[in-house]
Amino acid sequence: MIFIQWKLWTFGCVLIQAIIIFSAFYAYRTNAKRAPDDPEKRDFSPYSPWLAPLIFPILVLINIPIFILSSLFFGLFLLLFPFALLLFRKPFLIKWILKQAQRIGNKVLKIDIELLKAAGFYPTSIKLQYER
């Protein structure tokens, strides 16, 4: 029984890391496709998505209270989802998921930039566009 729980825990950790890495690369790729004069375009280092697995333990400690609140909101979502299906007939869920992946990826990339600047691998003379 303990072995099965350990396998599930390991799979869960790998799955979460895969989601974080996917979000970082998705945000980096969509940011790279933006026009140079776009006000939402940010200056991310190409190394910052690769730091995403390293910041996973920090994100876990920060997000424990967020996890508790999100589980409560998920219960509320389960109660209200059938009514939402009847009221809204547009594919809003896929757009919302991609928007959340973009948001998570941007936060991960910002943290990675700060780690690169702290380690001295990122030039600090460049004015970063995400610091507004």
pLDDT 10s digits, 2-24: 667 667 777 777 788 888 888 88
7 vs 79 pLDDT, higher one: 79
The angle, 0 to 180 degrees and rounded to 10, between the axes of the packed helices 92-119 and 2-32 is 90
Contact 101, 13 (CB under 8 A): no
Query: How many Å apart are CA 13 and CA 49, to the nearest integer?
Result: 18
| Span 48-68, pLDDT tens digits | 777 877 776 777 777 678 778
pLDDT of residue 131: 53
Look at residue 8 in the predicted model and tell me its pLDDT. 72
Given phi > 0 = left and psi -120 to 50 = alpha, else beta, which region is 26? Answer: alpha
pLDDT of 78 strictly over 70: yes
Q: Is 113 helix (H, G, I), strand (E, B) or coil?
A: helix
Check residue 102 and give its pLDDT: 93
Q: Mean pLDDT across the chain, nearest whole number? A: 79
Rounded to two decimals, what is the model's pTM?
Answer: 0.44
The pLDDT value given to residue 20: 82
In degrees rounded to 5, what are phi and psi of residue 37?
-95, 10
Q: Give pLDDT, residue 50.
A: 78
Write down the pLDDT at residue 103.
93
Residue listed under structure tokens 């776009």: 38
**Secondary element (H or E) of residue 66:** helix 64-87
